[in-house]
Structure 1
Amino acid sequence: MKLSTKQKQFLKGLAHSLKPVVQLGANGLTEGVVAEIENALNHHELIKVKVPSDDREEKALIMDAIVRETNAAKLQVIGHTLVIYRPSEEKKIQLPK
């Protein structure tokens, strides 16, 4: 999914006040966690996922896997928090052109 810079900035602004909806536990990225992220994306479209990992490479791999598995757009990473967006069928968020 390709988003323009204007659309990304708009979504980042909306995401600013959000709290992480999904937080990975000690088991890391499991099928259950991916399913929960899918449900959250279908319901909210724009979510934050908390990936607590001290290893930068491992954290980056996990975040890339989340984006790949969910077919979502990665908007930004701040510390341990990943912000992703995927439009649902109802199109709850109106993106600027």
Structure 2
Amino acid sequence: MSLTPEQKKQYRTIGHNLNPIVTVAGKGLTENIQLEVDRALEDHELIKVKFAVGDREIKKQLIKELCTIVEATIVQEIGNIALIYRPSIDPNPKLSNLLR
């Protein structure tokens, strides 16, 4: 799923005030991390994930791999933080970062 430039701008604005929900450390993408990111995307639709790995290339590869696994779209990457988006099937207005 690709986002229009207007959507990306809107999501970056919303994401600016968000805190990272999940931290990916040196062990890589474990099954628990994948499940937690999947659950967070279903609840919030737009989340930040922090990648605490040293190498830039490994970080970029992990971000792409995670987005492929959870079927999400990368909105923005800044430093060690990735802002990712996946539309929810049944969004909850109290939990969704897009509907609040």
Question: Does TM, normalized by the shorter one, top 0.5?
Answer: yes
Structure 2: segments with no counterpart, 5+ residues: none
How many percent of aligned residue pairs carry the same amino acid? Answer: 37
The equivalent residue for 2:34 is: 34
Q: Give the SS at the match of 1:88.
A: coil
Quote the offset at 1:54 in angstroms: 1.3
Amino acid at match of 1:72: A
TM score, norm. by length of structure 1: 0.91
CA distance in 2 between counterparts of 1:57 and 1:2 reads 23
Is 1:22 equivalent to 2:13 in the alignment? no
Quote the offset at 1:31 in angstroms: 1.0
Contact kept, 8 Å, 2:25 with 2:53, in 1: the verdict is no
Amino acid at match of 1:78: I
Which of structure 1's runs of 4+ aligned residues deviate more than 2 A? 90-94
TM score, norm. by length of structure 2: 0.88
The equivalent residue for 1:52 is: 52
CA distance in 1 between counterparts of 2:80 and 2:26 reads 14
CA distance in 2 between counterparts of 1:11 and 1:41 reads 14
Aligned residues: 94
Structure 1: segments with no counterpart, 5+ residues: none
Cα RMSD between the aligned structures?
1.2
The equivalent residue for 1:90 is: 90
Amino acid at match of 1:70: V
CA distance in 2 between counterparts of 1:89 and 1:67 reads 17
